[in-house]
Amino acid sequence: MSALLDSANLDLASTPGLPPVAPVAPAPSHAPPPPAAIPTAQQARVLDGVHTEVFVQIYADRILVIVTQLGRIGCLIQVSPPPSSIPAPPPSAPAVPSGATPSSATSILSSLPPPHPSTVLSPLFGVPPNAHLASLHDLYAAQIGAIVFRRFGGGGGGDMLMSGGSGGVGSSSRPVVVGLGLKPGLDSSAPEEEAEELGLSERDKVTFAAVMEMVIECLA
């Protein structure tokens, strides 16, 4: 091609009144690299007969956690981290009656970091259909935020999500956006004493513990 262009330029140069043809710039030999994939993790289980999915994506400025039993998001809540100057509250394990064996749900709940009292929950869209679900949404969002803040504020880990690239933003300073689509199912037949702990019925407590375990597995 270059030889043909040189020959054409010589011919044109020998023709009076015609300027030479400029050579064509060569095409770049390497295409630009594709954008980096967003670090993503997902878990799915059947909890109390309900298909439940947890989906986590790590962005440079936010961390997205979706929990749905409906195949869609009903409400979106942003959980803002507390100031680093305020110490975290000490962990507290759920009480187990004397002589009783802790259940799997109780064991999971006892290992969860307590939400910081200075954590701010900001509804972005969606309104829970009843007071019970509104309370559950706040509980889920605050606890998921506490799990993510502990996981990303610890400075360790070499897994996919932790090494996904924070774009220069301090990982512990990123807010968590929690999308929730929980299936209504208040167990009104549960004894009152079972609903006292964390404001949950026994059924709610087991589902809550399993979902938190799924979130932890997505971040592991």
| Residue 188 backbone phi and psi in degrees, to 5 | -70, -15
At residue 83, the 3 state secondary structure works out as coil
- Whether 218 shows a pLDDT value over 70: the answer reads yes
Q: The tokens of 4 are what?
A: 């043909």
Q: Each residue of 63-92: pLDDT tens digit?
A: 999 999 999 999 999 999 887 656 666 655
Q: Which residues contact 50 (CB under 8 A, 6 or more apart)?
A: 69, 183, 185, 207
Please report the domains of the chain, with CATH numbers, ordered by start residue: 40-84+101-219 (3.30.230.90)
65 with 144: CB under 8 angstroms? yes
Give pTM, 2 decimals.
Answer: 0.69
94 with 109: CB under 8 angstroms? yes
Distances (CA, A) of 107 to 93, 104, 206, 207: 9, 5, 11, 13
107 with 210: CB under 8 angstroms? no
Q: Each residue of 104-143: pLDDT tens digit?
A: 888 899 999 999 998 999 999 999 988 989 999 999 999 9
pLDDT band with cut points at 50, 70 and 90 for residue 32: confident
